[in-house]
Amino acid sequence: MQPELKPVRTNDAGFGRGVAYDAAPDAAVTADRQKVLRNTYLLLALTMVPTVIGAYIGMATSAVVVANPIMSSLIMLAAVIGLQFGIAANRNSGIGVALLLLMTGILGWWLGPMLNFALAMKNGMALVGYAAVGTGVIFLTMGAIATTTKRDFSFMGKFLFVGMIALLVAMLANMWLQIPALALTLSTLVIVVFSGFLLYDLNRIVRGGETNYVMATTGVYLSLINIFASLLQLLMALGGERE
């Protein structure tokens, strides 16, 4: 099961309230929003370092997760949710950044067993590459829409949150049911929902709904890792070539 989480939102705007942000901010406000967006992208790039390190560790210790998949999933879920509260509480200090990097390392570790499974296939390296490229294309597309359109996407928050909760419940249930067709359907829906979250989060930054780059990075990162994991699962199921 891939992680499916979103960060705790603590800013005054909140999500799903339909707040209409100023569509024509003055130069100072625009500069502040561009700074938040720039810092978000820089911190997002930095999160790739612990993610890769965590993934290597996860690949080397994948037997632990494979032997206890349900318990490992619940422990990981609890740890990441707890870290999100810590990030939100310390979002204006270096502690928040450190907790974010720790969280990305844990999620990288969680990807390890999946990467092991993919790389065991004859075309595994290509599948991982396709998933990475696909995630990048989605990110660039949502970013381009969020930064060029004048439309306010804040109305999407409530619907996306409900969809995320429904998907999480269904994925936890399928850990016991083990229905392949349902797993593929859920992976597809995860890509759709978290692509929507990417658009929503980036648009909030551009329109001033999110002014803290640590929280912004947390949201964007979690969307990207969910999209990558789901794309990889789909590619393995539909195009994986076993030895």
Average pLDDT over residues 45-50: 97
pLDDT digits (tens, 9 = 90+) for 142-179: 999 998 888 889 889 899 999 999 998 998 888 888 88
CB count in 10 Å sphere of residue 133: 11
Domain ranges in the chain? 27-239
**Helix/strand/coil (H/E/C) assignment for every residue in the chain:** CCCCCCCCCCCCCCCCCCCCCCCCCCHHHHHHHHHHHHHHHHHHHHHHHHHHHHHHHHHHCHHHHHHCHHHHHHHHHHHHHHHHHHHHHCCCCHHHHHHHHHHHHHHHHHHHHHHHHHHCCCCHHHHHHHHHHHHHHHHHHHHHHHHHCCCCCCCHHHHHHHHHHHHHHHHHHHHHHCCHHHHHHHHHHHHHHHHHHHHHHHHHHHCCCCCCHHHHHHHHHHHHHHHHHHHHHHHHHHHCCCC
Can you give the pTM of this predicted structure?
0.85
Which of 5, 2, 33, 28 has the alpha carbon at shortest distance from 209?
33
User: Where is average pLDDT lowest: 23-32, 93-102, 176-185, 214-223?
Assistant: 23-32
In terms of C-beta density within 10 A (0-12 exposed, 13-18 middle, 19 or more buried), how is residue 184 classed? Answer: middle
pLDDT digits (tens, 9 = 90+) for 52-89: 999 999 999 888 877 787 788 888 889 999 999 999 99
Taking each helix axis from N to C end, the angle separating 213-239 and 180-206, rounded to the nearest 10 degrees, works out to 150
- Six token digits for residue 130: 């396709």
Average pLDDT over residues 206-213: 90
